[in-house]
Chain A
């Protein structure tokens, strides 16, 4: 019993120290395999997840820095004429990933955390027309990061393997519009079995 107890606590300590909570990704993107070996960075990162939501292509936005989140919510609120309460701002700063248009962001932030799973996240509008909220989210995050930490944010795209090229191309074009030509594609490590 003593030995078992020792082992159990050793493992427990290991898991606690290496733990990084799994973020529930509403895009449900299964990333394609590749031989790339560089792990994705944990900080200073914007991730645009692309997947299917309600039968349509949808983009989800995520930025790692909490103070950046707070800053961009204010900026976006000013631009799109939505005012947020301090409770909503607090909620937004602890929301790791979201995919709702500005018009529904307020009700998204007012939803109880327990019911958030049922909230229909239809994706951030990312068409090539003027109503391009995704462009603004990325642009403002990068500005906020420079303002707050004097650092540059890295951008990565996490798309589902079955996603068709036009949607991926649109995201690349949005990044290109703001002068971002270098970014990461998130993949899983290719194993011998799926070669």
Chain B
């Protein structure tokens, strides 16, 4: 690329002696050094992996007209405790003993999917969809909240809400050492 033919245009038999032309090769080392320096600089100062946004819609508490009661037979309540653990139960608080569970595909996701299937089997029409109530305790972390909201998306639960935890449920978390 940066070279030209500087051989002098063939042999001259007994022609004039031409002065030797200087080479047109450019030393690129400095330029390449500079280019790589700039590349390194840009690589360190830019963010390649953009953060992702997870959409969250909280219930509008200013609108007093719409407040649908939660049907006990098709609602699942998930309590977020400390140490990245959770408890879940179906139906009303205090009636069924909560199950202590962990996050992850084999634990809570399986429980959600099982319950979802059960609700779909025992109900008909519009009531086939399971409702999930999420109740984070004061000792749960933001990571747990995001993880459980993510599970809602993965398991395709459309009706869910974050609700304030009750004293009864807090006591149960305490009993299981999750508070």
Contacts and interface: CB of A to CB of B under 8 A. Distances in A.
Given A18-B46, A19-B42, A159-B142, A35 B80 contact: no
A46 to B, nearest CB: 13
A165 to B, nearest CB: 4
Interface string A148-179: 00000000101111111110110010011001
B29 interface: yes
A183 B56 CA distance: 6
A87 interface: no
A187 B149 CA distance: 12
Contacts of B53: 36, 38-41, 156, 184-187
Interface stretch (B58-66, B67-75, B113-121): B58-66
A15 B46 contact: yes
A2 B42 contact: no
A20 B35 contact: no
A33 B49 CA distance: 13
Interface string A1-39: 110111011011001101111100000000111111111
Contacts of B36: 8
Interface residues of A, number: 55
Interface string B108-141: 0000000000000000000000000000111111
A132 interface: no
Contacts of B61: 176
Interface of B: 1-2, 28-29, 31-32, 35-36, 38-39, 42-43, 45-47, 49-62, 80, 104-105, 136-143, 145-147, 149-150, 153-154
A164 B140 contact: yes
Given A19-B42, A19-B46, A185-B53, A163 B58 contact: no
19 contacts: A2-B2, A5-B31, A8-B32, A18-B46, A22-B47, A32-B146, A161-B146, A162-B142, A164-B140, A164-B141, A165-B136, A165-B139, A165-B140, A172-B58, A175-B58, A184-B55, A185-B54, A185-B56, A186-B52
B51 A187 contact: yes
Nearest to A22: B47
Contacts of A20: 46-47
A34 B2 contact: no
B141 A161 contact: yes
B55 A182 contact: yes
A6 B1 CA distance: 10
A38 B56 CA distance: 13
A163 B141 contact: yes
A39 B51 contact: yes
Given A34-B147, A162-B143, A181 B60 contact: yes
Contacts of B56: 182-185
Nearest to A172: B58
Contacts of A128: none
A115 interface: no
A160 B46 CA distance: 21
Contacts of B32: 1, 4-5, 8
